[in-house]
Amino acid sequence: MVLTTPNRLDGRQCYDYRNIRVSFGADRGCCIVELGRTRVLAQVSCELVPPKPSRPTEGVLFFNLELSPMAAPGLEPGRQSELLVSLNRLLERCLRDSKCIETESLCVVAGEKVWQIRLDMHLLNHDGNITDAASIAGIVALCHFRRPDVSVQGEEVTVYTPEERDPVPLSIHHMPICVSFAFFHQGTYLLVDPTEREERVMDGLLVIAMNKHHEICTIQSSGVVMLLPDQILRCSKITAVKVAEITELIQKALENDQKARKEGGKFGFAESIPNQRITTFKMESAAVDTNDVEEQAGEIIAKADPPSEVFASPVVHTPGTAQIGEGIESSWGDLEESEKEEAAEEEGESEAAAFECEKVETEDTSTLKETKSDEPIVLSDSEEEEVVILEPQELPRKTRTQTSIKQENPSKKAFNKRRRKKRTSR
Q: Which pLDDT belongs to residue 1?
A: 41
| pLDDT > 70? residue 339 | no
Residue 338 pLDDT > 80, yes or no? Answer: no
pLDDT at 124: 92
Whether pLDDT at 110 is above 60: yes
Q: Of 21-30, 121-130, 373-382, where does mean pLDDT reach its minimum?
A: 373-382
In angstroms, the Cα distances linking 120 to 30, 169, 170, 278, 368 are: 10, 18, 16, 30, 100
> DSSP letters along 347-395, please?
HHHHHHHHHHHHHHHHHHHHHHHHHHHSPPEEEE-TTT--EEEE-GGGH
* pTM more than 0.75: no
Question: Residue 403 — pLDDT band, cuts 50, 70, 90?
Answer: very low
Please state, in angstroms and rounded to a whole number, the distance separating the CA atoms of residues 135 and 92.
10
State the pLDDT at residue 402. 46
Question: Confidence class of residue 400 from pLDDT cuts 50, 70 and 90?
Answer: very low
Instruction: Tell me the mean pLDDT in the region 165-190.
Output: 91
- Percentage of the chain beyond pLDDT 70 is 67
pLDDT at 284: 63
408 has pLDDT over 60: no
Average pLDDT across the chain, whole number: 79
* Mean pLDDT, residues 151-176 taken together: 90
Residue range 3-27: mean pLDDT, rounded: 85
Contact 157, 167 (CB under 8 A): no
- Mean pLDDT over 383-399 rounds to 50
* Position 399 confidence tier, pLDDT thresholds 50, 70, 90: very low
164 compared with 7, residue with greater pLDDT: 164
Kindly tell me the sign of the dihedral angle through the C-alpha atoms of 7, 9, 11, 17. Answer: negative
Distance CA 266, CA 381 (A): 101
Q: Give the CB-side neighbour count of residue 146, counting CA atoms within 13 A.
A: 14
